[in-house]
Structure 1
């Protein structure tokens, strides 16, 4: 009997009873805010001191926009994690190749060809709320987020902030909101103008105390603040109708770049030669540099035109159209991401501290998805930012 007891004791001694594992903490909510047109070069201690102080305790960097750096494709890139040639919103406007009709404002859910983050989140069981974001106008492939407010003119940012706060209070795990930023002031008065500085102060006074309070009310809240593009001051104008006079084309100008749709493909060499003579960079669609991830979409013009920084491209054909364009061209964007003025601000709160390298816009959504365990129906082009996946310190 003694031998049996001894053997049993030895066997029990060899059995390793696993230690009790602490429960896996559910990730805190995430708030993504876009301030339209707020460039990385505009966010400084002298322009937004309260937000700068918050960023000093978080992470600060810049987002590189897609080309052309415009509002609609910028926001859809941020939301899908995909390149413009894949998500299909290749600029604020484009010509739809299937029936050759002009899409004047590519801000509808119908324009988006890849899954937005709010759809992937909803399919993954993450309660999601979206306010005024480009493309959040209805169901995408039959899926709508838990709460959604499509864009409406005339609603102040404070209303959007209250909407986000209510969604978080009601249990949203992901909240995405588009706010006005400095885009209008930059277009009308130019970056660096008194009007832009006044708007930056207003944003600083509104955002900093609000975010401080939200973070106290929602432990574990991560906040990502960014924008679709920056803004550059304009000094010159080039009229594309004058440059291409006599050639039957459809023009869509974005500011510092443009799409030329040819009615006669044989006109391409002549049109390109004239544009280059005017001092512009020109690529046939298939020859757009691969780093811009643009030329693979048939929605892009037959010719893609890029102006030097500080020059904006006009499509006006009458004096009245020209006057309308000039009214909003003290500042412009739509250049390539290498132009420093196009870089958008980036602040991350609640995920460690320290500087961030420049982040391509298509890496934003994959990062948020990784934070919240969101599963994509189709893997996006971008990748989660490794620095933002490290343990907080």
Structure 2
């Protein structure tokens, strides 16, 4: 019986508009031979939440990762989520090994934080931000984290590892510095994707029978207004603070400005009044009490704020000096950046089997039962 082998590639911010604006013959070939599906990302549409959802095949209500930055309500202290201490579900790597699907698994990511979050169950785990020396020999000199070239390095490392080690299960996730800086029709965006497409073509040519799934964790849009929901509520006599869910250490990407935030109230009895105030504010499109947010978006109830807010298409949330400020940034996090593609090649499933990007992981897990 033919051995089943899988490669899942998450192109960070690789949404429909970016793919459509570029000449990508390999992706077009894979979609024609398999399928191309317009699907959904998990909301909030940020890196941690969606990569973990794909790599566990579950929603945040199960795996526990609801943000890039966690606030402990007991102490009111916050910390970046950069390892697996907060992860509540097994990874696809763990289950692939335990079920005997894979003798060898591999994880390739650009950011170190994703490596530490997802590496359990891997035989090979590489972050382009700080790779082992043997992979520098394989894929070339290390590139800066804030560069186009680092994603090319990552895909070269995947290509060479597939040739050398032939792992049965591989997950790869790039970074989105390019999309944060450039629109889909900009030359750097198109060069970035063209080289990725070329390397993917080389991977397919070397192993044409491998199952390949290509998706994104979120999209990316230009923003012109920044709001601080906590500041806004406090000015209206409702003491509160707010954390943008996008908040991480990679501030050159987005300045910690994103389209979703958790609001923490000094007095939770203020929730109805706070939601009414937020929804009357231009730029805020949706606001949910914690229980409603957990139910609507399948979030872990103990890992979110008192209120979950989503911005409109041109607005982001941040921790600001004033309640409202003009801005000029490309970012994500809201419902507007939650629409992503799924390309499937050599897949046993059809396009209609996929509603969310995480269904790639979910269907794989179901196939092992």
Distance 1:45 1:277, change over 3 A: closer
Instruction: List gaps (5 residues or longer) in structure 2.
Output: 131-143, 247-257
Of 156-165 and 108-117, deviating more is 156-165
Give the match for residue 257 of structure 1: 260
1:221 is aligned to 2:210: yes
Equivalent residue for 2:35, pick from 59, 63, 75: 59
Figure out how many residues of one structure are paired with residues of the other and give that number.
331
- Asked whether the equivalents of residues 215 and 343 of structure 2 are also in contact (C-alpha less than 8 Å), the reply is yes
Structure 2 length as normaliser, TM-score?
0.79
Displacement of 1:148 after TM fit?
1.5
Residues 1-393 of structure 1: matches in 2 within 5 Å?
Answer: 25-44=1-20, 46-97=22-73, 99-104=75-80, 106-125=81-100, 126=102, 127-132=104-109, 135-137=114-116, 144-150=121-127, 152=129, 154=144, 156-168=150-162, 169-180=164-175, 183-208=176-201, 210-216=202-208, 220-246=209-235, 247-253=238-244, 254=246, 255-279=258-282, 280=284, 281-288=286-293, 290-294=295-299, 296-317=300-321, 326=327, 329=329, 331-336=330-335, 339=336, 341-351=337-347, 356=352, 358-370=354-366, 373=368
Report the Cα distance in structure 2 between the residues aligned to 1:45 and 1:234, rounded to whole angstroms.
Answer: 20
The answer to whether the 8 Å contact 2:40/2:356 transfers is yes
Aligned-residue offset at 1:65:
0.7
Q: CA deviation at 1:189?
A: 3.3
Change (3 A) 1:64 1:302: same
Max Rg structure:
1
TM-score, normalization by structure 1: 0.74
The secondary structure found in structure 2 opposite 1:244 is helix
Q: Is the 8 Å Cα contact of residues 58 and 352 (structure 1) preserved in structure 2?
A: no
CA deviations over 1:249-308 (Å, ceiling 9, x no partner): 3311141221101232233334323212213221110122734112x4211110111122
Q: Aligned partners of 1:250, 1:117: CA distance in 2, in Å?
A: 36
How far did residue 173 of structure 1 move?
Answer: 0.8
Alignment check: 8 A CA contact 1:78 1:362 kept: yes
CA contact (8 A) 1:256 1:306 kept: yes
Is the CA contact 2:204–2:210 (under 8 Å) kept in the aligned structure 1?
A: no
Query: What secondary structure does 1:113 align onto?
Result: coil
Secondary structure class of the residue paired with 2:177: helix
**Cα-to-partner distance string for 1:195-233 (whole Å, 9 max, x where unaligned):** 32332333233332x2332324xxx31111111111223
Partners of 2:21 and 2:276 in 1: CA distance: 46
Structure 1 contact 28–173 (Cα < 8 Å) conserved: yes
CA distance in 2, matches of 1:145, 1:53: 30
Q: Is the 8 A contact 2:87 2:117 kept in 1?
A: no
Mapped partners of 1:160, 1:30: distance in 2: 17
Distance in 1 separating the partners of 2:229 and 2:76: 21
| Misfit runs of 4+, over 4 Å | 352-358
Q: Are the equivalent residues in 1 in contact too, given 2:30–2:344 (CA < 8 A)? A: no
Q: Aligned in 2, Cα 1:41/1:158: closer, same or farther, shift over 3 Å?
A: closer
1:12 aligns to what?
none
How far, CA to CA, are the matches of 1:184 and 1:42 in structure 2?
14
- Alignment check: 8 A CA contact 2:220 2:331 kept: yes
Change (3 A) 1:190 1:160: closer
**Whole-angstrom CA distance in 2 between matches of 1:351 and 1:139:** 24
> Once superposed, what is the RMSD of the aligned Cα atoms?
3.0
Report the CA distance between 1:76 and its aligned residue.
Answer: 0.4
1:44 CA displacement: 2.4
Structure 1 27/98 Cα, relative in aligned 2: closer, same or farther at 3 Å?
farther
